[in-house]
Structure 1
Amino acid sequence: NADVILCTCVGAGDPRLSRFKFRTVLIDEATQATEPECMIPLVLGCKQAVLVGDHQQLGPVIMNKKAARAGLCQSLFERLVILGIRPIRLQVQYRMHPCLSEFPSNMFYEGSLQNGVTTQERLRKHVDFPWPSPETPMFFHSNFGQEEISSSGTSYLNRVEASNCEKVVTKFLKAGIYPAQIGIITPYEGQRSFIVSYMQLNGALRKDLYKEIEVASVDAFQGREKDYIILSCVRSNVHQGIGFLNDPRRLNVALTRARYGVVILGNPKVLSQHPLWYHLLEHYKDKKCLVDGALNNLKVSVIEYSRPRRAYRKDDKFRQGLAHQIDAREAFAKPPLASENRRGTRSYNPDFMRTHDPVGYIPSDMSSIPQSSQFSIPLLPTPNGPFTQDLSQSSVTSRKNSKQHQNSTYNGYSNSVSSQGPLTQNAFNSQGSMSLALSQSDRLRMMENSNSSLGHGSLMSQDSSIGYLDDYKSQGEDTILSQDFEIRSQSGYQSQSFTQY
């Protein structure tokens, strides 16, 4: 008797739910689900679907690289944004301190985020922590320890950053912060396991306090929050490679998990080689939050780092979706018109014939084509049939005039279609005047009906069957029947009725 059923996308395929019809389906964190996963609840009689998520954050986790390159890593939410469906953005954030939301808002959301909380509401005066600026609870601490390959051989760790993580955590605990309010984020599993073991062995306080502190990857923290976040970047090498730290969505998730304060540990000389991290360092430098030295004596860093060779550019496939987005208040005040959603992108042209559109009959005259449409029909391969001469002559004599060349090519092609098959002029006259050239399947259907009217025992003549097979052979690369099948079928056509075939 429940009105609402909560389950995962895969759980919606449970046989116990197969007899139910869900008219409205709401998918939370839709950007983390693959398209096949989203289709499971949508096929249960859905009339209205609401997808909630953020395509600027991490998408589905696809372990197979070939499947990811083939497009499985794209969520249904992301596809709809790219296609021009106007998303409704909730622009007011109630989680972060205003200074923490400034950089993500400017870099990932075009400066559109508004703060639903004030600075005073996100300031803990009783917490004795050495922030460089009391009004700005964040800092980037310069670490220059070298990265190492973990024992698994597939990940990285940084011992210096792990040691500094323990010191920052201990400082938070001494300031009165509960362990459950602290989170440590690192992009590498090797660093995550090393930090956990390091705090247990070298922690200055009781071991049970460090056990309650959550240390996890960026992916595990998506959709969650902590009062204080410590981000360990790990990467520090002479080659200045940062691995998948260059993913802007990963950085966006890491920077938007904290409510009261953020501490970043990393090597600015290495991270600055990526344009996005360079802008982050510049932001912290302008706020006087780029520091180094001992935790009890932090000083503004005077380190110099180079500008990256290329500028930061947001992925072009999202620019179109961002141009169509609307504010939530605008959406509820005046919903977008259905015609606007149906047209998709602004460059949609209803006269444009795409290759995947269904094509029915081919007009036999150019007058049936809308004058507003400009079709560009390529030259077809020269066939070896009885209509080769007409097509080749039309393509040679019309080189001087592009419009005449287009018309002659189209007429030659339509005439070639109407000339194929065993239908004679009498067959066309029996059907009346036809302004459209029939497709091959239609002509086969007409012949079947014609033979059926003569009786099931009537046979095709030998000349008709051989001529019909010759028409198939004259199609060149578009041959439908294989050569072996044609040879075997010559005798079959002479002994069987067309209806039986």
Structure 2
Amino acid sequence: EAHAERGASGELRLRLVRLQKDLPLLSGAELSAARRTLHSGWATLRQWEERMRDDILASAEVICSTLIGAGSESLCGRTFPLVVIDEATQATEPRASIALALARGRVVLVGDPQQLPPTTLSEEARRAGLAVSLFERALAAGVAPVVLTTQYRMHPLLAAFSSAAFYRGALTNGADPASRLPPPRWPSRRPLLFVDAAGRRGGERAAPGGVSVLNHTEARAVADVVARVCGREGGAAPSDVGVVSPYLGQVALLKQLLAKQGREEARQARAGGGGSGGGTGPSGGDADGGVGGGEGGGGGGGRGAGGGRSQGGAFAAADATLSEEAVEVRTVDGFQGREKELIVFSAVRSNGRGAVGFLADHRRLNVALTRA
């Protein structure tokens, strides 16, 4: 019955859309009749879809939702024997409370207090405690956490720094180094590279509007690195590569450069000139900028570093066109909970004061260094 109703709703929606498009061609009695048909038709369709949604939710063993979505009308009046909140250390307490209201039995908070806290734009709200997650408040109240200490994502050499700096050396490695191979023709036996462009011109500056920071020299170096690892000589697919930076201004600049680079690559391909991967080497960058390679990232601590993959992922064939869509470019905050085979990290900051901006928060630095 549900299957038949689903098919009927699709047919009804199609008829209503067609009738809606024909309205400008109608007049008089025909127009009035069409409007009545549309009104009753859309009402019927909404009833069918609500009934199908309720049937699906009633028969589902697991329902996934955002924290805000947990307060939606479709879940109103429903309770569950178990509620699991993922990335709980990044959720404000009011948001987490929406999901807590659905629990009639147990609640599991999954998170890592050594990674990003809730985003709180209001300084007044931050001082009042909104930036402290329910997870952290529970720890402070003496709730004993279950700590996951085995990480399965990173190459052990990539995990070593985060383990020592953020987790008191407690992380152990479930990943076999032999299964965490860099892309073909990686220029080092180690999974981590640094591109040093200290002293070059065109470094850190305020982004247009003055609300962010960017670094043109470093951005050009990052674009060159991406072109090399994704080109014929590099062997990595663009979809395997992620570019991470703490600043929205730098993210926007990197997307522009990669889009331009992708258009040039496409032009060369049409002309028979091959793809990316040429150039004269890194054209600049920040002294703190680097290239992280291999399989990477995810801390341990309160959340642990489980998840990820049980087997090392291999790099896909480098047959996709290089572009800002193919190579994912995000802020550090936007990359939390995500991973790529290879990460290029653009730190942006390069100044005589030694100011590191957002990266002064060790939790943001931890996320940045554990995405690969």
Q: What's the TM-score once normalised by structure 1's chain length?
A: 0.49
Instruction: Tell me, yes or no, if the aligned pair for 1:31 and 1:53 is still in contact at 8 Å.
Output: yes
Deviations 1:243-291 (A, max 9, x none): 1111100011011110xxxxxxxxxxxxxxxxxxxxxxxxxxxxxxxxx
Query: Counterpart in 2 of 1:252?
Result: 366
> d(CA) in 2 for partners of 1:42 and 1:201?
47
Which residue identity is paired with 1:189?
Answer: L
Cα distance in structure 1, aligned partners of 2:72 and 2:261: 48
Aligned to 1:43: 101
- Separation of aligned partners in 2, 1:45 and 1:185: 36
1:126-182 deviation per Cα after TM superposition (whole angstroms, max 9, x unaligned): 611222xx0x21022222342111112211111111111011111101211000000
Q: Which residue of 1 aligns with 2:193?
A: 139
Give the residue type in structure 1 aligned to 2:363: R
Cα shift at 1:226? 0.2
SS of the residue corresponding to residue 246 of structure 2 reads coil
Task: Compare relative contact order (CA 8 Å, sep 6+) and give the higher one, 1 or 2.
Answer: 2
Q: Provide the secondary structure at the position in 2 that maps to 1:165.
A: helix
- Is the contact between residue 127 and residue 177 of structure 1 (CA under 8 Å) also seen in structure 2? yes
Question: Matches of residues 23-62 of structure 1 in structure 2 within 5 Å?
Answer: 23-62=81-120
SS class of match (1:85): coil
Determine the structure 1 residue equivalent to 2:323. Answer: 210
The residue that corresponds to 2:53 in the other structure is none
Q: Distance in 2 between matches of 1:36 and 1:85?
A: 20
Aligned ranges 1:87-98 → 2 under 5 Å = 87-98=145-156
SS at match of 2:108: strand
- 2:297 counterpart of 1:243: no
Please list every run of 5 or more consecutive structure 1 residues that lacks an aligned counterpart in the other structure: 259-501
Which residue of the other structure, out of 327, 334, 343, is the alignment partner of 1:229?
343
* Number of the residue aligned with 2:64: 6
* Runs (5+) with no aligned partner, structure 2: 1-58, 268-320
Q: CA deviation at 1:40?
A: 1.2
The amino acid of 1:195's aligned partner reads: L
The 1-side partners of 2:343 and 2:259 are apart by 19
Paired position in structure 1 for 2:75:
17
1:186 maps to a residue whose letter is S
Residue 187 in 1 paired to residue 301 in 2? no
The 1:236/1:45 distance shift into structure 2, 3 A limit, reads closer
Q: Is the CA contact (8 Å cut-off) linking 1:170 and 1:205 kept in structure 2?
A: no
Q: In 2 relative to 1, CA 46–172 (structure 1 residues): closer, same or farther, beyond 3 Å?
A: same
From the superposition, tell whether residues 206 and 97 of structure 1 become closer, same or farther in structure 2 (CA, over 3 Å).
Answer: farther
SS in 1 for 2:341: strand
Contact 2:242 / 2:340 at 8 angstroms: preserved in 1? yes
Q: Is the 8 A contact 2:251 2:331 kept in 1?
A: yes
Shift of 1:60: 1.1
Q: CA deviation at 1:238?
A: 2.7
Whichever residue aligns with residue 235 of structure 2, its letter is G
Report runs of 4+ in structure 1 exceeding 6 Å deviation. Answer: none
State the TM-score, normalizing by the size of structure 2.
0.65
- 1:85 equivalent in structure 2: 143
Retained in 2: the 8 A contact 1:129–1:171?
Answer: no
CA contact (8 A) 2:83 2:102 kept: no
Q: What's the RMSD between the two structures over aligned residues?
A: 1.7
Percent of aligned pairs sharing the same letter: 44
Rg bigger for which structure? 1
